[in-house]
Amino acid sequence: MRRVVVILAALTLSLGLIQGTAHAVPPNIPSASVAAAELAALTVAPESNQSSYDRSLFPHWITISGSCNTRETVLRRDGTGVVVNSSCYPTSGSWFSPYDGATWYAASDIDIDHLVALAEAWRSGAHAWTTAKRRSFANDLGNAQLWAVTDYVNQAKGDKDPAAWKPPLPSFWCTYARAWIDVKYEWGLTVDAAEKSELTAMLGHC
């Protein structure tokens, strides 16, 4: 159903001061042609169950390895020259935010964005999942679900889908659409009609 590639790279983390290797973007972003095929295969359905959403139903920022949680693992994975302390908190490094093209030098300026927001996932089928599956989704390191981005850009995005919000950089729309489609495909989530239409248009930037 979905790629079970979760966490393996994170197992190389150790306690103490460690230096990260930049990856720039999360793994397993498909080509435009693959993403188009995945989009065609997604079920189109109206969003539902919004009133019953609660963020606590998606346990997130769990421990991945040693003292490193999911957020810290992504910061190390996607940063450049990242050094962390014994608690795995980054003490130095830089992060390029692909959503807006900004570079930051303090981890506090970075949010880890759930590309497909937890509330969006809930409305698109995750309301029917077990808590264990929602936990896996909220901490998915094996797909392009978790992105290190400028904090206020992530806050502006909120839980909006591409029909309501797109990254400020049009040059990133192709990658964003390919990643979004793949996450929904790998997790068996639905898309609504407006969302599918916008994703199709965004693939036109590829």
For every residue of the chain, which 3-state class applies, written as one string? Answer: CCCCCCCHHHHHCCCCCEECCCCCCCCCCCCHHHHHHHHHHCCECCCCCHHHCCHHHCCCCCEEECCEEHHHHHHHHHCEEEEECCCCCEEEEEEEECCCCEEECCHHHEEEEECCCHHHHHHCCHHHCCHHHHHHHHCCCCCCCEEEEEHHHHHHHCCCCCCCCCCCCHHHHHHHHHHHHHHHHHHCCCECHHHHHHHHHHHCCC
Kindly indicate the confidence band of residue 47, based on its pLDDT and cuts at 50, 70 and 90: very high
- Answer whether residue 3 is part of any domain: no
Confidence at residue 73, expressed as pLDDT on a 0 to 100 scale: 97
Kindly indicate the confidence band of residue 183, based on its pLDDT and cuts at 50, 70 and 90: very high
**Tens-place pLDDT, residues 111-141:** 999 999 999 999 999 999 999 999 999 999 9
Domain that holds residue 189: 8-203
- Answer whether residue 40 is part of any domain: yes
Kindly indicate the confidence band of residue 24, based on its pLDDT and cuts at 50, 70 and 90: low
The answer, yes or no, to whether residue 32 has pLDDT greater than 60, is: yes
- Answer whether residue 1 is part of any domain: no
- Record the pTM: 0.88
Confidence at residue 25, expressed as pLDDT on a 0 to 100 scale: 81
- Answer whether residue 2 is part of any domain: no
Q: For the residues 24-49, what does the mean pLDDT come to?
A: 95
Number of structural domains found in the chain: 1
Q: What percentage of the chain has pLDDT greater than the value 70?
A: 88
- Answer whether residue 49 is part of any domain: yes
Confidence at residue 23, expressed as pLDDT on a 0 to 100 scale: 44
- Answer whether residue 113 is part of any domain: yes
- Answer whether residue 139 is part of any domain: yes
